[in-house]
Chains A and B, each alone.
Chain A
Amino acid sequence: MGTFYTTGIPALSWKYLVMWAIACFFLYLAIAKNFEPLLLLPIGFGIFLVNFPLVPLMGRNEEGVPQLLQFFYHYGLEWEIIPCVIFLGLGAMTDFGPLIANPKTLLIGAGAQLGVFVTFTGTVLAGFTLKEAASVGIIGGADGPTTIYLTQHLAPQLLGANALAAYSYMAMVPLIQPPIMRLLTTPEERVIRMRQLRPVSKRERILFPLIGAGIIAILVPAVMPLMGMFMLGNLMRESGVVGRLSDTAQNALMNIVTIFLGISVGATMHADKFLSWKPLFIFGLGLLDFAVCTAGGILTVKVMNIFLKEKINPLIGSAGVSAVPMSARVSQMMGQRYDKKNHLLMHAMGPNLAGVIGSAAAAGMFIAMFN
Chain B
Amino acid sequence: MKRILAVLAFWIMAGGQSWPEDFLGAPLPAGGKVLFRTESRLELQYPMSHDQILGFYRQHFKENKDIRYRDWKAETYIEDDGALPWHSIRISKGETETRVTVTRDSWTWILGTLALRFVGVFVVLLFLYAGMSAAGAVLSRVAKVTETEKK
Contacts and interface: CB of A to CB of B under 8 A. Distances in A.
Interface of A: 99-100, 103-104, 106-107, 109-111, 113-114, 117, 120-121, 124, 127-131, 201, 203-204, 207-208, 211-212, 214-216, 219-220, 354, 357-358, 361-362, 365-366, 369-370
B30 interface: no
Nearest to B140: A201
Nearest to A365: B117
Contact of B131 (A128, A130, A215): A215
Interface stretch (B38-46, B47-55, B92-100, B121-129): B121-129
A357 B126 CA distance: 12
B22 to A, nearest CB: 19
Contacts of B118: 113-114, 117, 362
Nearest to B110: A124
B21 interface: no
Q: Tell me the interface secondary structure of chain A in the complex.
A: helix
A369 B135 CA distance: 31
A219 B124 contact: yes
Contacts of B120: 220, 361, 365
Contacts of B111: 121
Contacts of B125: 106-107, 109-110, 354, 357-358, 361
Contacts of A201: 139, 143
Which of A220, A366, A369 has the largest number of chain B CB atoms within 10 A? A369
B68 interface: yes
Interface size class of B (residues with CB under 8 A): 20 to 34
Contact of B110 (A121, A131, A366): A121
Q: Indicate the member of B68, B122, B132 with the most A CB atoms within 10 Å.
A: B132
B81 to A, nearest CB: 5
Contacts of B123: 219
Contacts of A358: 121, 124-125
A111 B128 CA distance: 15
A131 B129 contact: no
Nearest to A111: B122
Interface string B31-69: 000000000000000000000000000000000001010
27 contacts: A100-B136, A106-B128, A106-B132, A110-B121, A110-B122, A110-B125, A110-B126, A113-B118, A121-B111, A129-B66, A129-B81, A130-B83, A130-B110, A204-B135, A204-B136, A207-B135, A208-B132, A211-B135, A212-B128, A215-B131, A216-B124, A358-B125, A361-B120, A362-B118, A369-B113, A369-B117, A370-B68
A110 B119 CA distance: 9
A155 to B, nearest CB: 10
Nearest to B119: A110
A361 B132 contact: no
A362 B128 contact: no
Given A129-B82, A215-B128, A216-B124, A103 B136 contact: yes
Contacts of A130: 66, 81-83, 110
Given A130-B82, A131-B66, A220 B131 contact: no
Given A129-B82, A131-B66, A357 B128 contact: yes
Contact of B121 (A120, A129, A362): A362
B11 to A, nearest CB: 38
A212 B118 CA distance: 19
A365 B68 CA distance: 17
B114 A121 contact: yes
A117 B113 CA distance: 10
Contact of B139 (A114, A131, A204): A204
B81 A362 contact: no
Nearest to B113: A369
B131 A120 contact: no
Closest CB pairs A-B (n = 8): A365-B117, A106-B125, A103-B132, A110-B122, A129-B82, A361-B124, A110-B125, A130-B81
A215 B124 contact: yes
Contacts of B122: 107, 110-111
Contacts of B110: 121, 124, 130
A216 to B, nearest CB: 7
Contacts of A207: 135, 139
Contacts of B18: none
Contacts of B83: 127-130
B133 to A, nearest CB: 6
A100 B129 CA distance: 9
Given A129-B82, A370-B81, A103 B127 contact: no
